[in-house]
Chain A
Amino acid sequence: MRRLIAILIAALAFGALSGFAAYQKVRPQDGGIGDVNWREIAWPFPRDGWPAGRAFRCRAEACGEGIELYVRPKIGFCNCDSGVADDDEVDRVADLDMITQNFAPRAPGGVVRIADMSGRARAYDLDMSDGSHHAAVGIAVAHRCDLLVAVAQGRGTAAEVERAALAFLGAGDMKRWMTAALGGG
């Protein structure tokens, strides 16, 4: 009987390890983001209609002052045919409203390509609740009927924020995570 119990425990442990391994495939361990300038932090926003994503902070010396980036998939939220078609769509989907309800675009956005997915990025001015002003970039790229959205913000210039965000999202480990998060294997 003891042997049977041992077999059952081993089977359960194997199942748990398999599940853990599958989870790890999508979400690499903290520190495994392949960029020494960026550090993963806790998702800072309350629960909304989409599952929480991943949040990161960049060293001031590397990126500029106080730059944070928030990224998550939105499954089934995209026009399957046209993808991210225009700047209005970036306004709607890019999670800027999680940071503040008061944001205004600085200029028309532009086409971006991240992790083999196409979409758009647009720069914004944010009016924060404490009265300060931040620069931000909203990014939305599409894969089939799904979206991957990111927003980066900081006290530096919009150009600094955008440059840092796009470089980080284009790096190897983040690219792999984003591809897997959208079911790309």
Chain B
Amino acid sequence: MTGRIKLATYLCVSFVACGGFASAQQQLIGAPPEASNMRLVGANDLQARSAYQPTIHHQGDRWIAYIGHHGGTDAVPDPVNPLTGKAEPNGTSVVDVTDPANPRYLRHIPGQEGKYEGGGAQMVRVCDGKTLPKGDRNAVYMLRTFGNEAHEIWNVADPANPVLITRLGGLKDTHKSWWECDTGIAFLVSGAPDWRTRRMTQVYDLSDPAHPIKIRDFGLPGQEPGSTGAVPTEVHGPISTGPQGNRVYFGYGTDKGGLLQIVDRDKLISGPKEPTPDNLRYPEISRLAMSAFNGAHTTFPMLKMPIAEFARDKDGQARDIVMIVDEAILNECGEPRQMVWFADVTVESRPMMISSYTVPEASGSFCERGGRFGSHSSNESMAPVYYKKMAFIAFFNAGVRALDIRDPYHPAEVGYFIPSITASTDKRCVTVDGKDRCKVAIQTNNVETDDRGYIYIVDRANTGLHILELTGDARKAAGLP
């Protein structure tokens, strides 16, 4: 073989091999899931509805998953509910996951008519009536958004036959709320008509869900009615540590201009309520401004974490950590990488980023697979089974990633699971030369865990719910038998 022919052959083989590799990264119907140290236990297609927040609640001797949905798609605005035979706008799926290998779909509660983020009922939180100070002891209350225009509370004591209790309407852009089950205090993310930001926080006393009491409106100075000048980044969601911790961690921004705000909960609830700049600043302890490239979708506190490396230090052996998760919003890597950050907030006046995590793009050619690649959210359960040991991150087309966070200065991936696509998995498109170019890929949007250690992931591209468990080294790292 002459030199020229050798070179030509090499170039041809390289070209074909590269092309073959790229196409191998495209998900195919019927192909097995991609996994490491995580195993599929059970699944449900959630009636092929685009899924957002799952909350898993231990209800008597049953485990019930409540799963919020975005609105429908252009192709199927209102999917048919096989249980009723009717087309219903996406809302909330209620699934009995007591036997995780055989989840049973119990009920679909329709949401607001509308497509994509313009409809549905994305968020869900659940509290027992016996835990809430003034609740009906026999009730189980589900707080959900109703599209963008309201918050609703349902009694789901009989999860197959939920009953609407309360509706807080007249809002816009309702989103990721937090509800303290032991006090009833709720931090409801909404857009109030007179505020200058799309989303702010309305603090409510929902200790008696049938009779909500508004406490105050809250946001960043510059967002309040009547202000002028630059408008700070909108809130995405708060997480409270309750009266014991007396802190609320607010995440602002989704994929840009992120901000972690640490707030004194007692001052927030009991302080002056008129939304003046001074009153809005009063409960704030500090802020951690992120790069303009990244947002703060989820701000998950893990306080007093013992750090093995610091065990023999005379001070600072335990640290207060907040895990900050950005949200990727553009398909096919159309923006700076959205990922996971760990902040040490032990010295609250000087919070500091200490580490970060992302999925290596090249490990799956994720920028070419289609849809979003990057983080979206983490599990928010504080049950002992995983709290301060393991975190699970929804990473869109890279599935769910299991992180060993026992040393938050050095988080390490110990497992992952990327579900198979199905005939229900919806396409995701980018515009190239004025035309849509579409691909089909998993879009793992949210993840939650239950007290038993099962991991629940849901798909934004209509593939449904997958229930997982850890195996191998990941299971050992979590301390599970």
Contact = CB atoms under 8 A, between A and B. Distances in A.
Contact of B4 (A1, A92, A105): A1
B4 A49 contact: no
A79 B148 CA distance: 12
B4 A96 contact: no
Interface in A93-128: 96-97, 101-105
B196 A88 contact: yes
Contacts of B196: 88, 91-92
A31 interface: no
Given A80-B116, A80-B118, A81-B114, A105 B228 contact: yes
A185 interface: yes
A82 B114 CA distance: 12
Given A76-B334, A183-B431, A104 B229 contact: yes
A81 B256 CA distance: 21
Main secondary structure of the interface of A (DSSP, over half): loop
Contacts, number: 65
Interface residues of A, number: 26
B34 interface: no
A48 interface: yes
A52 to B, nearest CB: 12
A76 B229 CA distance: 24
Nearest to A125: B228
A102 B229 contact: yes
B4 A185 contact: no
A14 B17 CA distance: 23
B231 interface: yes
A103 B231 CA distance: 10
A48 B292 contact: yes
| Size bin of chain B's contact surface | 20 to 34
A4 B118 contact: no
Contact of A4 (B7, B255, B334, B433): B7
A75 B231 contact: no
B330 interface: yes
Nearest to B173: A79
Interface string B164-179: 0000000000000000
A184 B432 CA distance: 8
Interface in B1-57: 3-4, 7
Contacts of B431: 183-185
Interface centre among A4, A49, A82, A92 (most CB of B within 10 A): A49
Contacts of B256: 49-50
Contacts of B229: 97, 101-104
A183 B434 contact: yes
B312 interface: no
A96 B114 contact: no
A80 B4 contact: no
Main secondary structure of the interface of B (DSSP, over half): loop
Contacts of B330: 75-76
A48 B255 CA distance: 12
A64 to B, nearest CB: 24
Contact of A92 (B7, B114, B231, B432): B231
Contacts of B335: 75-76
A124 B213 CA distance: 38
B293 interface: yes
Nearest to A144: B431
A126 B256 CA distance: 25
Contacts of B117: 79-81
Contacts of A80: 116-118
Contacts of A81: 114-118
A35 to B, nearest CB: 25
Contact of B292 (A49, A88, A103, A105): A49
A176 B115 CA distance: 30
A58 B255 CA distance: 34
B329 interface: yes
B228 A185 contact: no
Contact of A184 (B3, B118, B228, B434): B434
A103 B334 contact: no
Contacts of A104: 228-229
B156 to A, nearest CB: 30
Interface centre among A80, A96, A183, A184 (most CB of B within 10 A): A183
A81 B119 CA distance: 10
B230 interface: yes
A95 to B, nearest CB: 10
Given A75-B330, A76-B335, A49 B293 contact: yes
Contacts of A105: 228
Contact of B230 (A4, A97, A183, A184): A97
Interface string B420-433: 00000000001111
Nearest to A92: B231
Contacts of B432: 183
Contacts of A103: 228-230
B334 A101 contact: no
A80 B292 CA distance: 22
B240 to A, nearest CB: 27
Contacts of A48: 257, 292
Nearest to B116: A80
A75 B334 contact: yes
Given A76-B335, A88-B196, A4 B4 contact: yes
Contact of A91 (B231, B334, B430, B435): B231
Nearest to A143: B431
B402 to A, nearest CB: 28
Given A102-B229, A185-B433, 19 more contacts: A1-B4, A4-B4, A76-B335, A79-B117, A80-B118, A81-B118, A89-B198, A91-B196, A91-B231, A92-B196, A92-B197, A92-B231, A101-B230, A102-B228, A103-B228, A105-B228, A184-B431, A184-B434, A185-B434
4 shortest interchain CB distances as A-B pairs = A185-B434, A183-B431, A49-B256, A97-B230
10 contacts: A1-B3, A49-B256, A49-B293, A76-B330, A76-B334, A92-B197, A103-B229, A103-B230, A105-B228, A185-B433
